[in-house]
Amino acid sequence: MEINKIAVIGAGAMGSGIAYWSSFNGFNVSVTEQNDELLKRGMQKIKDNVITGVNKGKITPKQAEEIMAKIKGTVNLAEAVKDADIVIEAVFENMDLKKEIFRKLDASAPKHAVLATNTSALGITEIASVTKRPEKVVGMHFFNPVPAMKLVEIVRGNKTSDETVKIVDDLAHALKKETVTCRDSPGFIVNRILGPILNEAVLLLQEGIASREDIDKAMTLGTNFPMGPLRLADFVGLDVALEVSRTLEKGFGEKFKPPSLLVEKVKRGELGIKTRKGFYEY
């Protein structure tokens, strides 16, 4: 299937990154948020990505303008998806919210459109169950920061068709990403492994075994992590890390239980870089 238009639902760190990267690679994009204020912030995040692209010498100022011109922002979800060939949902990690969105997408997107979710860990089959096209629902999991991370994880729900998997695999390659494919299971591949790593780093801090700096230094110098796990948790967002951990705990039990320090930090609104305070101050 030829993809001309990509609709992105949600313009947080992931949605804005996906919108930018799709336009960067030549696609027409619509992006939608719940209200004008969030849309304005999302469009600014897209511009920040464009500026980074220029500063890193990846695009010229003229190309930057062309990239922005290909991205249309709207607060009207039905309008955003009405002529889309694929929709990529990137809203907050909450099953009820995702189901509500997928009901709306199913009602408003063209019949041929694939409905993909960028969920970090939630069940694709369950999200697909609220639509009349479960064979066209699939996980398309990008990584943060989208322009720099080379992987897209493709997750098959119980009813996802081979054709749908091929469409998103082709799209991921058109977006210059590598892909892996897996069955629907909490946390898929990456977050099932990464979730416990982040949790153990938080537990080391919580138990007073080492300082935040030494935990991160140990993993960057001892295992060549590009950034330490506590800094990475701040980067991903502690609210997202907590939701991933909760989904893993629900699926696999006690060993994935989120550490109390992570729960407390989220309760206090210390969510990492986006709130300027997490395990570090920004």
Site residues (vs ligand 3HC, CB under 6 A): 49, 52-53, 56, 58, 120, 143-145, 147-149, 191, 194, 226-227, 232, 236, 240
Given a contact cutoff of 8 angstroms between Cβ atoms, the answer to whether 142 and 18 are in contact is yes
Nearer to ligand 3HC, 36 or 213 (CB): 213
Name the burial class of residue 79, with classes exposed (0-12), middle (13-18) and buried (19+) by CB atoms within 10 angstroms of its CB. Answer: middle
* Cβ proximity to ligand 3HC, 107 vs 227, nearer residue: 227
Q: How far apart are CA 11 and CA 85, in angstroms?
A: 19
Query: Shortest approach of ligand 3HC to residue 232 CB, angstroms?
Result: 6
Write down the least CB distance from residue 244 to ligand 3HC, Å: 6
Q: How far is the CB of 218 from ligand 3HC (least distance, A)?
A: 16
Residue 199 CB, nearest distance to ligand 3HC (Å)?
A: 13
Q: Enter the tokens of residue 179.
A: 């892909």
Confirm if 116 and 160 have CB atoms less than 8 A apart. Answer: no
| DSSP one-letter code for 228 | -
- Minimum CB distance to ligand 3HC, residue 240 (Å): 5
* Residue among 260, 197, 266, 264 nearest 232 (CA): 197
Active site residues: 120, 141, 153, 191
- Name the residue among 221, 222, 206, 230 with its Cα closest to residue 282: 230
Pair 263, 242: CB distance under 8 Å? yes
The candidate with the shortest Cα–Cα distance to 255, out of 157, 187, 154, is 187
Q: Between 127 and 232, name the residue whose CB sits nearer to ligand 3HC.
A: 232
Q: Which is nearer to ligand 3HC, 103 or 176 (CB)?
A: 176
Q: Is 270 helix (H, G, I), strand (E, B) or coil?
A: coil
Least gap, CB of 112 to ligand 3HC (angstroms)? 28
- Closer residue to ligand 3HC, CB minimum distance, 120 or 164: 120
Beta strands in 67-159 (DSSP E): 71-74, 86-89, 114-117, 137-141, 151-156
Residue 86: other Cβ atoms inside 10 A:
27
Nearer to ligand 3HC, 37 or 213 (CB): 213
Beta-carbon contacts of residue 156 (< 8 Å; ≥ 6 apart): 124, 138, 139, 165, 181, 182, 183, 184
